[in-house]
Amino acid sequence: MAKTNIPQKVQSAIWARSAGRCEYRGCNEDLVGDLIAGKEDGLYGFIAHIVADSPAGPRGDAVRSPLLAKSLENLMILCARHHKLVDTDAPDEHPEALLLAMKDAHEARVETNAGIDEERASYVLRFGATIGANEALVSTQAIFSAMPPDRHPASKQTIDLELINQAYRDDEPEYWALQIRNLRRLFAERIGGRIERQEIRHLSVFALAPQPLLIELGRLLYDIVPVTVHQRHREPATWRWQCDRSVLDYQVVAPPPDVKGPIALKLAVSATVNDERILKVVGDNAALWTLTIPEPGNDVVRRPEDVAAFRIAMRKLYDEIKARHGEGQVIHLFPVLPVSLAVEVGRVWMPKADLALVIYDQNRERGFVQTISIDGKAE
């Protein structure tokens, strides 16, 4: 137990630097106030010494202990559980260097988040719908931790566009009709009006849903407000950008100039898709366009630059297809994409300029099935 009487200004400084939260790695427990007990102004953490203030204490030293006893750099805030762990239950497993690293990481995170100005505030839009027989849940805690340093949540409350309870599955036509109506209604009620009133000036989108619905969400967002679309990674399991690979190289393969059949567009980024699967749906004489990457995979979008490069490639492709085939045509769209790119397919589509879309979805038993259509009149 610490014996040193730590000056009040030092105590105030360490509580401020820690934002009143446990600095033990992975904890972050709020130690200010207890709403259940009705004591909102209480402090429930411990000011702990990294190098003990006594040579006989944990990590103590005959010379350094008295020198560091009142030093701000030698103090950290811990919850009761981790204070006991560090000083009593497992002091040997918590050397000075480890605790200093925890303290530095926590306080750097607090400084970064507190230093973000108001212009970087972003409202969080969560879109989670049923995929097959599974519920796609989007964790609020995981979302908020993925936003800094570029953005911070404008509110503790997320804007949720969720699936209403119903018995249809995504391989049934009724599912798509119901979902589209639900999505458009919720978007108008919870987002559209607030954007018009300039309450929302930036959105951070976190979505897990079937690809046609993600594309429709992107169409609704369009460019009415600045948007950052995030990507859920599998390895590691996080929404935080990884930036551990070079920017994706998107490649376009155009059909021969003399092909005059229906227009098909294959977006194969998450997986390789054989042309025969597309032609089986739209006909062997289809004008098949392809946008892909050298090595498609389900965890390839790792950085925001991957999303930005896709937007550029997709916008150019829409223009090129219209220039080749002319007005009044329809694009049969076959998306096999990471969720962030699926949203961008809809965001970069221009209702008054681009060709109408008929969107297909992959069904394990039936192959690609037609789902929804998007044209300049879609509402």
Contact call for residues 250 and 319 (beta carbons, < 8 A): no
32 belongs to a structural domain: yes
368 belongs to a structural domain: yes
Instruction: Give the domain-ending residue among 91, 114, 137.
Output: 114
Instruction: Give the domain-ending residue among 66, 82, 114.
Output: 114
Report CA-CA distances (Å) from 293 to 112, 290, 300, 305, 337: 35, 10, 10, 15, 11
180 belongs to a structural domain: yes
Dist CA 51 CA 4 (whole Å): 12
Dist CA 136 CA 210 (whole Å): 10
132 and 86 together in one domain: no
Q: Which of 25, 56, 30 is nearest to 42 (CA)?
A: 30
31 and 139 together in one domain: no
102 and 124 together in one domain: no
Residues 6 or more apart whose Cβ sits within 8 Å of residue 327 = 355
Instruction: Give the domain-ending residue among 72, 92, 114.
Output: 114
* Domain of 175, in residue numbers: 119-229
SS (H, E, C) the chain: CCCCCCCHHHHHHHHHHHCCECCCCCCCCECEEECCCCEEEEECCEEEECCCCCCCCCCCCCCHHHHHCCCHHHEEEECHHHHHHHHHHCHHHCCHHHHHHHHHHHHHHHHHHHCCCHHHEEEEEEEECEECCEECCCCHHHHHHHCCCCCEECCCCCEEEECCCCCCCCCCHHHHHHHHHHHHHHHHHHHHHHHHCCCCCCEEEEEECCHHHHHHHHHHHCCCCCEEECCCECCCCECCCCCCCCCCCCEEECCCCCCCCCEEEEEECCCCCCHHHHHHHHCCCCEEEEEECCCCCCCCCCCHHHHHHHHHHHHHHHHHHHHHHCCCCEEEEEEECCHHHHHHHHHCCCCCCCCEEEEEEEECCCEEEEEEEECCCCC
245 belongs to a structural domain: no
Domain count, the chain: 3
363 and 263 together in one domain: yes
Residue 295: give its domain's CATH number. 3.40.50
Q: What is the pLDDT along the chain (379 residues), one digit of tens a residue?
A: 566 889 999 999 999 999 999 999 989 999 986 543 445 456 788 999 999 999 999 999 999 999 999 999 999 999 999 999 999 999 999 999 999 999 999 998 888 777 666 678 899 999 985 544 444 456 788 888 899 888 888 888 899 998 665 667 777 778 898 889 999 999 999 999 899 888 999 999 999 989 999 999 999 999 888 999 999 999 998 999 999 999 999 999 999 998 989 999 999 999 999 999 999 999 999 999 999 999 999 899 999 999 999 999 999 999 999 999 999 999 999 999 999 999 999 999 999 999 999 999 988 778 899 999 998 654 5
1 belongs to a structural domain: no
259 and 209 together in one domain: no
45 and 131 together in one domain: no
255 and 223 together in one domain: no
256 and 353 together in one domain: yes
pTM above 0.85, yes or no: no
Report CA-CA distances (Å) from 68 to 112, 166, 210, 300: 26, 63, 57, 48
286 and 328 together in one domain: yes
95 and 144 together in one domain: no
43 belongs to a structural domain: yes
289 and 357 together in one domain: yes
